Amino acid sequence: MPDEPRELELKYRIDSEPDYLRIVDSLPAAPERADSSLRNYYFDTQSYLLSRSQGMLRLRQGRAVVLCFKKGGEREGSPGFFDVVEVEGEVRKELLEEALTQPDVLLREPHPAIHSVLKHYGQIELEPIGYLDTLRRYRLHEGRLLECDEVTYPDGSRAFEVEVETTRPEDTRKALLRIFDELGISASPQRHSKLQGLLRKGGILP
């Protein structure tokens, strides 16, 4: 199997909704990148085999349905910088409804994300483990595309993040810290994924 693609992304947690909105309102919108409302459904084994080993299998419902597998986490020595395997692509829309009632249908899907799941974990038994909603707003700053995420959990609580894909995390960090300072934003490196945040709320992960 060829090398799996990787996602390199710097993430910052924004401490409050007013600070998040200050970023969104102060920076220009990215051309041709409309706000996206995304519902994220996660799948794992009953014992959370994937989640406990920095893995994730997700169906994301937006304008299309996208199947995604990720594995990895924060790079040591670079707070908030995630270096992960990311294999994703669109799937037929009917797969979402099928997977929510018969999750093992996912393992029969001829899709690169499933090939990666099988590569890393072999044959496993899947079940739905939860969902969350993301409102993603795209903004530009110093030539970088910022994904400004408002995350809503099933209990109604919310979290706010800014994410930037980058191969130069420390340069990107300096740029983000400058804009945070200029706007008076309280923020800190995000140390866990959205799924990990969901599972921590449920007491499943520490």
Three-state secondary structure readout of 34-97 = CCEEEEEEEEECCCCCCHHHCEEEEEEECCCEEEEEEEEEECCCCCCEEEEEEEEEEECCHHHH
pTM: 0.96
pLDDT score recorded for residue 196:
97
Instruction: For residue 158, name the pLDDT band (cuts at 50, 70, 90).
Output: very high
Instruction: For residue 2, name the pLDDT band (cuts at 50, 70, 90).
Output: low
pLDDT score recorded for residue 3:
82
Q: How many CA atoms lie within 13 A of 172 on its CB side?
A: 23
Sequence-distant contacts of 144-152: CB under 8 A, at least 24 apart: 144/172, 144/175, 145/30, 145/33, 146/23, 146/27, 148/20, 148/23, 148/24, 149/194, 150/17, 150/20, 151/194, 151/197
* Model pLDDT for residues 172-192, shown as the tens digit of each residue: 999 999 999 999 999 999 999
Architecture of domain 6-201: Beta Barrel (2.40)
Distance CA 196, CA 109 (A): 25
Q: What percent of the chain has pLDDT over 90?
A: 98
- In 3D, which of 119, 118, 172, 162 has the Cα closest to residue 138? 162
Q: What percent of the chain has pLDDT over 70?
A: 99
The domain segmentation of the chain, as residue ranges, is: 6-201
Is 35 a residue whose pLDDT tops 60?
Answer: yes
* Model pLDDT for residues 44-88, shown as the tens digit of each residue: 999 999 999 999 999 999 999 999 999 999 999 999 999 999 999
Mean pLDDT score, 21-30: 98
Is 200 a residue whose pLDDT tops 80?
Answer: yes
Name the token pair of 21.
Answer: 């909105």
Is 153 a residue whose pLDDT tops 80?
Answer: yes
